[in-house]
């Protein structure tokens, strides 16, 4: 399952903080079988996933779906992608980062001070990655 946020003025350069009426949709999405066309059809501006890096067996399907998501760039700006995780097993988390690297998806860890309203500030094992797809 994935949440995505669309701004009202699709296709225009609209900064997230200026968007007064974001449209939030919920869509069923099987990472393993979703097609590039289906992902493009979502027309997502922002993709937020929480607690999806929890099992080494799902990492390839997740990174594969993120790679397909990058084809959304074809006719419009690529979505902003944020992945929040509680690091329960550092090996699984490192595997995710390694697979992102292999897939050519750049990422950065968002420093805690930039997200002062998140629980994340008081829970050092919670991290947020921003992906550049
Ligand atoms: C630990 S739960 C996190 C739930 C999420 N934070 C929420 O509040 O709904 C992991 C999620 O990954 C999803 N998931 C695992 N493998 C998946 C796949 N191949 N395709 C789509 N979703 C998958 C599961 O359905 C589950 O919702």
Number of domains in the chain: 1
Nearest protein CA to atom 16 of ligand 1, as residue: 58
Nearest protein CA to atom 10 of ligand 1, as residue: 52
Give the contacts of 65 (CB within 8 A, at least 6 positions apart).
Answer: 29, 31, 32, 34, 39
How does pLDDT run across 39-81, given as a tens digit for each residue? 988 888 889 999 999 999 999 999 999 999 887 666 678 899 9
54 lines ligand 1 (CB under 6 A): yes
- Residue in this structure with the two tokens 């390694």, named with its chain if needed: 98
- Please tell me the pTM assigned to this model: 0.81
**Would you say residue 31 has pLDDT above 60?**
yes
Whole-number Å distance between alpha carbons of 72 and 65: 12
56 lines ligand 1 (CB under 6 A): no
Tokens of 38: 């289906």
The enclosing domain of 12 has a CATH number of 3.40.50
Question: What range defines the domain where residue 112 resides?
Answer: 2-132
User: 12 alpha carbon to ligand 1 midpoint, in Å?
Assistant: 31
């Amino acid at each position: 399952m994935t949440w995505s946020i669309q701004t009202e003025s699709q296709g225009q350069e609209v900064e997230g903080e200026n968007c007064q009426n974001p449209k939030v949709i919920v869509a069923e999405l099987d990472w393993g079988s979703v097609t590039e066309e289906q992902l493009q059809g979502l027309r997502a501006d922002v993709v937020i996933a929480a607690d999806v890096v929890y099992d080494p067996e799902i990492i390839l399907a997740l990174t594969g779906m993120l790679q397909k998501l990058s084809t959304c760039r074809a006719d419009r700006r690529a979505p902003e992608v944020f992945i929040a995780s509680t690091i329960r097993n550092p090996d699984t988390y490192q595997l995710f980062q390694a697979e992102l690297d292999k897939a050519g998806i750049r990422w950065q860890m968002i420093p805690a001070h930039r997200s002062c309203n998140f629980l994340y500030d008081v829970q050092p094992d919670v991290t947020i990655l921003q992906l550049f797809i």
